[in-house]
Structure 1
Amino acid sequence: MLKRTNTIFLSNFLSNFLSTVFSLLLAAAVLLLPVFSASAQDIESLEDEAVAWLQEFIRIDTINPPGNEYRAVDFYAKIFEAEGIEYETAESAPGRGNIWARLEGGDAPGLIMLQHTDVVPADEEFWTIPPLSGDIRDGYILGRGTRDMKGLGITQLASFLSLHRSGRPLNRDVIFLATADEEAGGYFGVGWLIENRPDIFEDVGFLLNEGGGGSRNGDEIVFSTEVTQKVPVWLRLNAVDTPGHGSSPRPNSSVTRIVRALSTILENPLPPRAIPPVAT
């Protein structure tokens, strides 16, 4: 197997896995429909399509840097056009593409299915297969981004298309939003869209994104829900001391002061603090 990779387990429990994820996304959409139930035949069809889509998506190089997320935009645009779904795209910089589509519904606060299409680099030295292969082996789809987050992105796509194909009225707008640059700061993705296309987020009350997790215990599939994440604290340290020269370093200098300060931070971690959404 791989020394380091991302995988999605597919083999014996593929049907249950995708069916469960579709159901969770539809349920998490906060009563998107007064009544909604996809038939077993519809789910089975989407499962087959989802596997093929994910394999194709993994093979599209959107490693960030440089991103080249326009390739993902082209991938999704092709699917939306085949489904007769209107969509919009925007480039925040050359090659940094974003795409979104909307299923219009009633007046209830809208819901966004948010994903990022870029992935982190993959050093082939640590892989036993090409990182962008998308091959299925021993019940797994293999490749960079299967978990973070092209796998969930395709699950969102399948859920979005399930709603569209059903033809049933929604009580709120549902927006599919695939963005660039999450792995390197987000400025060319969500950050840029908030500043330049705030209309996407108007009247939206709910957002489904990556997070949580899933595991398998025998024949049971368990999904966990993530309600918050630990956020970073950025510090700027300035130290002043007697200047010196690298050829004859001083025992005390601004550099050693910084090193000692960093060591103090490392050796004295802040205690965990549960904020209200987690504590309650």
Structure 2
Amino acid sequence: MTASMTPAELCAHFVRYDTSNYGEGKSAGETELAIEIARILTDAGYSPEMYAPEPSRTSVILRVPGRDRSKPGVLVHGHTDVVPAEPEQWSVPPFEGRIADGYVYGRGSVDMKDMVAMMVATALEWAADGTVPERDVVFLWVADEEDRGDWGAGWLVQEHPELFAGIGAAFGESGGHTTPLTAVDGSTVTLVPIAVAERGTLHMRLRAEGISGHGSRPAPGSAISKLIAAAQRLNEHQWPLQIGEAVRAYITETNSALGYEVDLTDDAGVAKAIDQMGEAGLVAGVTVRCSSTTTVLNAGYKVNVIPGVAEAEVDVRCVPGTFESTQAVLAELVGSEVSYTFIDPGEPTEFSQHSPWFAAMRAAVLRSQPNSVVVPYCMGGGTDAKSFAKLGIECFGFAPLTIDPEGRRTAGVHGVDERVPVASVNGGQRILSDFLRAV
């Protein structure tokens, strides 16, 4: 049955596997879906392999040999885990995998079981028509991207680097999604951003200590006071503009396609340029500078007791080229009264938009959508690319989705009623297969 499914139908099929990742090593388990993917591939004549650091956290890998094995191979990766859902807030059950009104509904339908399905569909298509790609193509369906990758990409890179031998470039989330924008003359511009960079992570755990005491007798220098002061400094710090090559290209090329001129020499000019980009400016706005946001606070156990320890966690993102300098600023902001450690720091990634890899992605998009404007961009968040980059692999975000002919758009990522247009998934798979055949 699955061999004859469309990519969108496969996406719905995979949504029905609850692979919720709760963080800190807790998960509904990716293994059941990994077994299903391996079964489908095996039935098509392939010999996929499964790897797991522990039984419930399994990843699947398949290497398809190319015609010229002397060329660097390519890695295509998609994560099988999803963020948890709150069913009471949804209009459809989040793991039903419903196809209705031209959409695939369900948790993970966009992030990223659509890509997981497109990868499987591409492998099945090749098996059916005897396709041999130009170079080795490694498909990886990987666990634990929605946390830190300790049970997925990070573990594979550390424990099984041989699986990625000979790989020159990797392609995964998040990029290749088609975005219609309105130009200054009222025409529609079909924008397709491809990720060539990601902000780095310098997440922090803060700890302040003070003297415990009775809540009715407050004393200066309590643990909570020290912690709140440090957290506030981090939250309110005005990080300066630091526009890297990818971000500059994204802003200038998008504005040019829309018919606008830009001046990126000061905050006002940057803000204007980003505003002119419409919805495409959302990601630009968070990649022109670093950010630090306190997200977790822990202190106290009883209302009339002053605690001796207070802790917090801070989400810190740094733009490419600032990994070391950002750490120095953070140390100054935290100050001497609060200690801190970094939680699984990950350096920013940045690769060339002028590379043959980017040219091949652009060409594949234009073969499908000739009037598209393909631009590089920097992700505001992070992906498994950070793990693969440690092996010297060039990493890009390319999980293509085409325009839905009736104007449907993806929605609900990490939120309620997550959904992806059926036509976008099926069209995206055609681009992905074409790209991997020709690259």
Gaps of 5+ in 2: 183-187, 250-439
Q: Deviations over 1:74-123 (max 9, x none)?
A: 12112102210111001211211110111112211110110110001100
Provide the residue aligned with 2:390 in structure 1.
Answer: none
Change (3 A) 1:261 1:141: same
- Separation in 2, partners of 1:252, 1:70: 49
Q: 1:83 aligns with which of 44, 48, 58?
A: 44
Q: Does 1:262 align with 2:226?
A: no
- Separation in 1, partners of 2:233, 2:217: 26
| Structure 1 residue runs of 4 or more that deviate by more than 6 Å after TM superposition | 217-220
Q: Map 1:129-168 to 2 at 5 A.
A: 129-168=92-131
Say whether the 8 Å CA contact 1:96–1:180 is kept in structure 2. Answer: yes
Q: Deviations over 1:6-45 (max 9, x none)?
A: xxxxxxxxxxxxxxxxxxxxxxxxxxxxxxxxxxxxxxxx
Change (3 A) 1:222 1:133: farther
Give the CA deviation at 1:234: 3.0
SS in 2 for 1:89: strand
Change (3 A) 1:265 1:217: closer
SS in 1 for 2:6: helix
Change (3 A) 1:134 1:239: closer
Provide the residue aligned with 1:54 in structure 2.
Answer: 11
Say whether the 8 Å CA contact 1:227–1:278 is kept in structure 2. Answer: no
Provide the residue aligned with 1:198 in structure 2.
Answer: 161
Provide the residue aligned with 1:224 in structure 2.
Answer: 193
- Number of aligned positions between the proteins: 236
- Give the residue type in structure 2 aligned to 1:264: R
Give the CA deviation at 1:215: 2.8
Give the CA deviation at 1:263: 0.7
Give the CA deviation at 1:278: 4.2
Give the CA deviation at 1:170: 2.9
Q: Identity over the aligned pairs, expressed in percent? A: 32
Provide the residue aligned with 1:108 in structure 2.
Answer: 71
Name whichever structure is richer in strand by fraction. 2
- Separation in 2, partners of 1:216, 1:140: 18
Q: 1:211 aligns with which of 174, 183, 189?
A: 174
- Separation in 1, partners of 2:167, 2:246: 20
Q: Deviations over 1:105-146 (max 9, x none)?
A: 221111011011000110012111111111122111110000
Say whether the 8 Å CA contact 1:67–1:96 is kept in structure 2. Answer: no
Q: TM-score, normalised by structure 1?
A: 0.75
- Separation in 2, partners of 1:88, 1:48: 23
Say whether the 8 Å CA contact 2:126–2:132 is kept in structure 1. Answer: no
Give the CA deviation at 1:163: 3.7
- Separation in 1, partners of 2:12, 2:216: 56
- Give the residue type in structure 2 aligned to 1:215: T
- Give the residue type in structure 2 aligned to 1:171: E
Provide the residue aligned with 2:356 in structure 1.
Answer: none
SS in 2 for 1:74: helix
Change (3 A) 1:140 1:190: same
Provide the residue aligned with 2:392 in structure 1.
Answer: none
Q: Does 1:181 align with 2:144?
A: yes
Gaps of 5+ in 1: 1-45
Provide the residue aligned with 1:121 in structure 2.
Answer: 84
Say whether the 8 Å CA contact 1:103–1:175 is kept in structure 2. Answer: yes
Say whether the 8 Å CA contact 2:41–2:120 is kept in structure 1. Answer: no
Q: Map 1:12-51 to 2 at 5 A.
A: 48-51=5-8
- Separation in 2, partners of 1:92, 1:170: 31
SS in 2 for 1:151: helix
